[in-house]
Structure 1
Amino acid sequence: MTDHSANANNLSSNNLSTSAANTNSSAKIAIIGGGLSGLFTATLLERAIAQRPAQAHNEAEASNSVNAQHPQITIFEKSRSVGRLATRYRTDSLTNQNNWQWAFGAQFFTAKSDSFAQFIAPWLQSGSLQPWCAQVVELTPTDGNAEPIISKKEQWDTTHARYISSPKMTSWGRQLADNLTNSSLKFKTRVAPLSKEHHQSTDQKTELFDEFGASLGCFDWVICTIPNGQAIELLADSGFGKQAQISQAKMLACYTLMLGWDKVSMLPQTLQNSVAATTTPPVWDVAYPQQSILAKIFVEHQKPSHSELLPSVTIHANNDWSEAHVNDDLETIQAQLLVAAKQALNWNNDTAPSQVDCHRWRYAATVINKGEEGLGVLVDNDRHWIVSGDWCGQGNIESCYLMAEQVVEVVVAALSL
């Protein structure tokens, strides 16, 4: 069996079955996971399908590939919405407005590859995506009631841009979902673990079931885009040919603390920096705490197109600390993070936040050793199963896209699109 994992140069699918393309019905493709990896995969598949008729050299070729031009794509997502770019809100009881907002998942992303830069260009042109030219500092908490030591680190620029989705981090994922034309999304649907019996070798189809045992249908290709810890469980008894490689990736947890204040004037002095560049401490949007269990502090209401928000601050805990405490009670974790945040931001009773929330991400950061390129997508040719996700690359949003490119290359070649 040819190895189609890891690198783009070994993604050739010459020996893959093309029976799905030769049947009388359209190929059916299941994507497990409605995060950005799943959405990018569906989007690129649809684009490849749409481009095929224009590439046909004659009517006969177009007729022979008609069944492959319109595969039925179904995305199964266990939550109630698309994932990864997550936003949480808190409503003011007096105004009934979502006045506090926290991007409690990925705060931003980069586009270093030409293909991803081209992909996001339309959304940049429309303003749905915007560069975030944040002022970044290092923040060292001090003992007692003294102000933390803040020193400038860098300013992000448009040359090496960090992008955010506007007006919310969830907005782009929802736009990607809304723009799909030949794909259906099934929310609140948890796919049950696959077994060898689910795959019928005679016609290369796999029947999926939900957690209650109800059939979700039979599919020619199953593409798994969930975190590796979940993928291990999903495929543990399936006979997936690349099961060992899934376990090679190491993902760490992350706790997110979300804080809100009723007025800018009620912010602690450490955060009183949004009015003038001459204020002390220096103006900043992102802080890297030193000697702390906190990893990064983000000032939400100073982001582009966020000026109408009440003061909102998102704090990510250190990944190693989060992993060590991943199974701790969430209330206990929140209390510990509040102690660290109070030390970092130096508030008192009069400047304490009025809004507090905490979230646990069990699979947040992929451990990438220096010089490593990542696994690449993992393909089981016999079963027509593919395991993908950002953790197969560098563990970031751009990796979601690059892995989706690899998946589409395999599927398109197999279906003779």
Structure 2
Amino acid sequence: MTDPALYSNEIAAPKVAIIGGGLTGLLTATLLERASNQTSTPSNPPQITIFEKSRSVGRLATRYRSDNKTGKNWQWSFGAQFFTAKTDDFRQFIAPWLDSGLLHPWCAEVVELTPAGDSGQSPNIRSKKQWDAVHARYISTPKMTSWGRELAAALQHTTIVFKTRVAPLAQYLHHQNPQHSQHKTQNQIHNQNNKQTELFDETGASLGWFDWVICTAPNGQAVELMADSNFAKQAKIVKPNMQACYTLMLGWNDVQKLPETLKGQLVPQWDVAYVNSAILDRIFIEHQKPAHDELLPSVTIHARNDWSEAHVDENMESVKEQLLQSAKQALNWGEGSTPIQTDCHRWRYAATIVDRDTEELGILIDETNQWIVSGDWCAKGNIESCYRMAQHTVEAIFKQ
């Protein structure tokens, strides 16, 4: 947990820009507000702006479609399917949402699945384990997007600007704005050394002046944003290896229309399958998750990261056909059990490939410019890493 003792009551709340409205950005804003509440007066709240290039917040992506006849939905968590909480700090942080029921532990039945071969044999499915509450995997309900939206809604001193791409900082190097300095408090002048950065959008319009700029984009995008800007840690941004991921989404209109591999009658009942395949990685049965029983039958399939990376620039329809063929071998559907809903999504920066022997990168700080590059990819690439990097960012800002 961030220690309030780290912060001096003499430090005025800074004006902060966060580039990226994913979980790292939302958690950074949340912890900044909490820290500022302990160090600032009510008349001097923090001023935080999140710039998000898409229409929504959070990495916990959900896609759904409604059936015209029944009014029910198919629903797919096509981003992160779940997250873990291994540290006391993070467990304490998520506790209120567990108490409210927005977050649920997911005690899934897990199997290992070997797809059918070309000779026509059935897929081989073997029970592997059950995820338990001791080593819990958590999901957000009713959708995986719900937690991110709840985090965003709870922010009191943060403005979220959607559909806004921040231009690379190289064109607008850190410089002083004399007009803005006249309105700084003495504490701001002393503690921030009169440093500010003006950000611009891709059209050249000013987005404002900020004491701190925090980039939480994936490292491939962070490289572009910070390129040629004299960012002190530029070379380190490219060190983590991030790979793509394709997600295939399948839907049926009735449980009875499911292939036998999903019904749990002729094979072990399961919720998650680890797939022995050169293309597919895992299969998730959405409508069997906690608080998801009102859904129409929905299945999400993640492709392997190495396969996805090798095909990242291919035509989407071609990739979708390859994934459907592999999924058909894995789930063994026939003419009467073919999914009636199919969709495909590509995440260009999905997974951080972690080498156990390599030390975590951690957040990258340029103290001269007061820029920070952060993200889950700076650690283990999971959602708990978003929280840890947000903690470190807040500590870095309030230690100045």
TM-score with structure 1 setting the length: 0.87
C-alpha distance in 2, partners of 1:187/1:340?
Answer: 37
State the shift of 1:21 in Å.
4.7
Contact 1:201-1:383 within 8 A present in 2 as well: no
Pairs within 5 Å for 1:276-291: 279-291=265-277
1:22-43 Cα distance to aligned partner (Å, 9 max, x none): 7xxx631000000000000000
Pairs within 5 Å for 1:93-104: 93-95=68-70, 97=71, 99-104=73-78
What is the match of residue 271 of structure 1?
262
What is the match of residue 257 of structure 1?
248
State the shift of 1:374 in Å.
1.4
Contact 1:373-1:394 within 8 A present in 2 as well: no
Contact 1:142-1:149 within 8 A present in 2 as well: yes
1:121 and 2:95 correspond:
yes
State the shift of 1:204 in Å.
1.2
Contact 2:197-2:209 within 8 A present in 1 as well: yes
Contact 1:147-1:270 within 8 A present in 2 as well: no
Q: Percent identity?
A: 63
State the shift of 1:262 in Å.
0.6
What is the match of residue 51 of structure 2?
76
Q: Which moved more, 1:197-206 or 1:380-389?
A: 197-206
1:168-226 Cα distance to aligned partner (Å, 9 max, x none): 00000000000000101001111011116431158311100111111000100000001
Matched to 2:170, the amino acid is S
Q: 2:394 aligns with which of 394, 404, 408?
A: 408
State the shift of 1:371 in Å.
3.1
What is the match of residue 299 of structure 2?
313
1:247 and 2:247 correspond:
no
C-alpha distance in 1, partners of 2:37/2:333?
Answer: 56
1:200 and 2:187 correspond:
no
C-alpha distance in 2, partners of 1:48/1:373?
Answer: 28
SS of corresponding position for 1:342: helix
Pairs within 5 Å for 1:324-339: 324-339=310-325
C-alpha distance in 2, partners of 1:196/1:287?
Answer: 48
Q: Which moved more, 1:200-209 or 1:229-238?
A: 200-209
Q: 1:238 aligns with which of 219, 229, 235?
A: 229
Contact 2:72-2:294 within 8 A present in 1 as well: no
Matched to 1:163, the amino acid is Y
State the shift of 1:49 in Å.
1.1
C-alpha distance in 2, partners of 1:118/1:197?
Answer: 40
SS of corresponding position for 1:248: coil
SS of corresponding position for 1:80: coil
- Runs of 4+, deviation exceeding 3 Å: none
C-alpha distance in 1, partners of 2:162/2:39?
Answer: 30
Contact 1:301-1:307 within 8 A present in 2 as well: yes
SS of corresponding position for 2:399: helix
1:306-359 Cα distance to aligned partner (Å, 9 max, x none): 001010000000000000000000000000000000000000111000000000
SS of corresponding position for 1:364: strand
Pairs within 5 Å for 1:259-408: 259-273=250-264, 279-408=265-394
C-alpha distance in 2, partners of 1:282/1:170?
Answer: 30
Contact 1:292-1:340 within 8 A present in 2 as well: no
> Where do 5+ consecutive residues of structure 2 fail to align?
178-193
C-alpha distance in 2, partners of 1:182/1:373?
Answer: 35
SS of corresponding position for 2:324: helix
1:105 and 2:79 correspond:
yes
C-alpha distance in 1, partners of 2:101/2:214?
Answer: 31
Structure 1 residues 79 and 293: alpha-carbon distance in aligned structure 2, compared to 1, 3 A threshold = same
What is the match of residue 3 of structure 1?
none
C-alpha distance in 1, partners of 2:84/2:74?
Answer: 25
Pairs within 5 Å for 1:52-63: 52=39
C-alpha distance in 1, partners of 2:221/2:320?
Answer: 25
RMSD: 1.9
| Number of aligned residues | 378
1:173 and 2:140 correspond:
no
C-alpha distance in 2, partners of 1:103/1:291?
Answer: 21
Matched to 1:286, the amino acid is V
1:83-105 Cα distance to aligned partner (Å, 9 max, x none): 3100001121234x351000000
Contact 2:26-2:58 within 8 A present in 1 as well: no
C-alpha distance in 2, partners of 1:217/1:129?
Answer: 36
